[in-house]
């Protein structure tokens, strides 16, 4: 796996936009799902896929606001889904499978960040539940449609925040250790990458390839909605006077580019199970500390990836 985890010189970069990535790509007849597709990075991703001809299903907790946000975009359907509710995930998947023979692109984009300690109805910590477990359940329910595509792509939105924490198999649910909202976020983002590693291994013989993505720092999305307003203001003040490129700050159009690239680029036809950033496969980051480019080795460890898959199956 580490042999695959190295840049391929894609020709793009940190300031590439989703529109630039999708140029020349034709997705007529393709079906995509984009969770969190009614705002921020997800909305920009939906626009790019639809522009290329894909039919896009956007799951949403609030149907009314999602339909308003997506109004006017061709070939887009909104359907109800709550990633924290297994029954809702099953109902969405069942409805999709009844209406569509295949699924070509699944972008697990929705997520929450730095929340206070909250638990879903099953008692699972909310960031792990929403960011990883809900998408794991959704993907496995939709697996038959992905197989029927014969050339499906799964893209999971991770983050450089995975560098905050490895996955703690001994206390993943914060039942014994002190809850730290950023370490919990980091653990969930590490889980997103490990999920891509194992999903790719399991899907490769059926033509399913999986990727994890760091979109870059995009401060204009609603991902910061659970953060303390003073904390958000302090970060934005820091970014305002700093060099945006150095800090990895991106516009929404730039932030969506890597997801769109992983979902559609022919240059990735023979690759998968890798972590990507700045519209290329990322390097392996070996330095300690947060903020360096690349993916930590623990997040692409195949043994840990298989172990997380087994844990996720047992929890769902």
pLDDT value for 286: 82
pLDDT value for 248: 65
Q: Show which residues are catalytic.
A: 185
- SS (HEC) of the chain: CCCCCCCCCCCCCCCCCHHHHHCCCCCCCCEEEECCCCCHHHHHHHHHHHHCCCEEEEEECCHHHHHHHHCCCCCEEEEECCCCCHHHHHHHHHHHHHHCCCCCEEEECCCCCCCCCCECCCCCEHHHHHHHHHHHHHHHHHHHHHHHHCCCEEEEECCHHHHHCCCCCCCCCCCCCCCCHHHHHHHHHHHHHHHHHHHHHHHHHHCCEEEEEECCECCCCHHHHHCCHHHHHHHHHHHHCCCHHHHCECCHHHHCHHHHHHHHCHHHCCCCCEEEECCEECCECCCCCCCCCCECHHHHCHHHHHHHHHHHHHHC
pTM comes to 0.93
pLDDT value for 236: 47
Burial classification of residue 69, based on how many CB atoms lie within 10 Å of its CB (0-12 exposed, 13-18 middle, 19 or more buried) = buried
The CATH number of 18-308, from 2.60.120.200, 3.30.420.40, 3.40.50.11900, 3.40.50.720, is: 3.40.50.720
- Alpha-carbon gap, residue 88 to 68, rounded angstroms: 22
Q: Are 247 and 260 in contact (CB under 8 A)?
A: no
pLDDT value for 222: 62
Low-confidence ranges of the chain (pLDDT < 50): 234-246
pLDDT value for 226: 58
Q: Which of 157, 66, 180 is nearest to 111 (CA)?
A: 157
Q: Are 216 and 280 in contact (CB under 8 A)?
A: no
C-alpha dist (Å) from residue 184 to 108, 134, 288, 297: 19, 16, 18, 18
**Chain segment 117-175, per-residue pLDDT in tens:** 999 999 999 999 999 999 999 999 999 999 999 999 999 999 999 999 999 999 999 99
């Amino acid at each position: 796996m580490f042999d695959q985890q190295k840049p391929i010189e894609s020709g793009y970069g940190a300031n590439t936009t989703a529109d630039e990535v999708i140029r020349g790509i034709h997705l007529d007849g393709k079906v995509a799902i984009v969770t969190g597709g009614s705002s921020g990075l997800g909305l920009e991703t939906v626009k790019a896929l639809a522009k290329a001809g894909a039919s896009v299903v956007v799951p949403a907790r609030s149907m009314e606001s999602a339909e308003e946000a997506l109004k006017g975009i061709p070939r887009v359907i909104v359907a109800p889904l709550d990633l924290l509710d297994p029954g809702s995930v099953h109902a969405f998947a069942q409805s999709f499978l009844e209406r569509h023979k295949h699924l070509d692109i699944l972008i697990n984009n929705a997520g929450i960040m730095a929340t206070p300690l909250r638990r879903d109805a099953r008692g699972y910590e909310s960031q792990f539940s929403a960011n990883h477990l809900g998408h794991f359940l959704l993907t496995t329910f939709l697996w038959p449609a992905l197989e029927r595509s014969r050339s499906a792509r799964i893209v999971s939105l991770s983050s450089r925040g995975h560098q905050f924490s490895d996955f703690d198999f001994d206390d993943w649910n914060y039942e014994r250790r002190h809850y730290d909202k950023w370490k919990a976020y980091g653990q969930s983002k590490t889980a997103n990458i490990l999920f891509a590693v194992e999903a790719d291994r399991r899907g490769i013989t059926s033509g399913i390839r999986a990727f994890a993505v760091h979109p870059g720092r995009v401060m204009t999305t609603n991902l910061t909605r659970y953060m303390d307003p003073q904390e958000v203001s302090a970060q934005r003040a820091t970014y305002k006077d700093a060099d945006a490129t150095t800090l990895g700050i991106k516009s929404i159009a730039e932030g969506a580019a890597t997801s769109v690239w992983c979902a559609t680029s022919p240059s990735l036809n023979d690759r998968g199970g890798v972590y990507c950033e700045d519209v290329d496969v990322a390097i392996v980051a070996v330095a300690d500390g947060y903020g360096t480019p690349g993916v930590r080795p623990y997040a692409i460890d195949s043994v840990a990836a298989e172990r997380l898959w087994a844990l996720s199956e047992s929890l769902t």
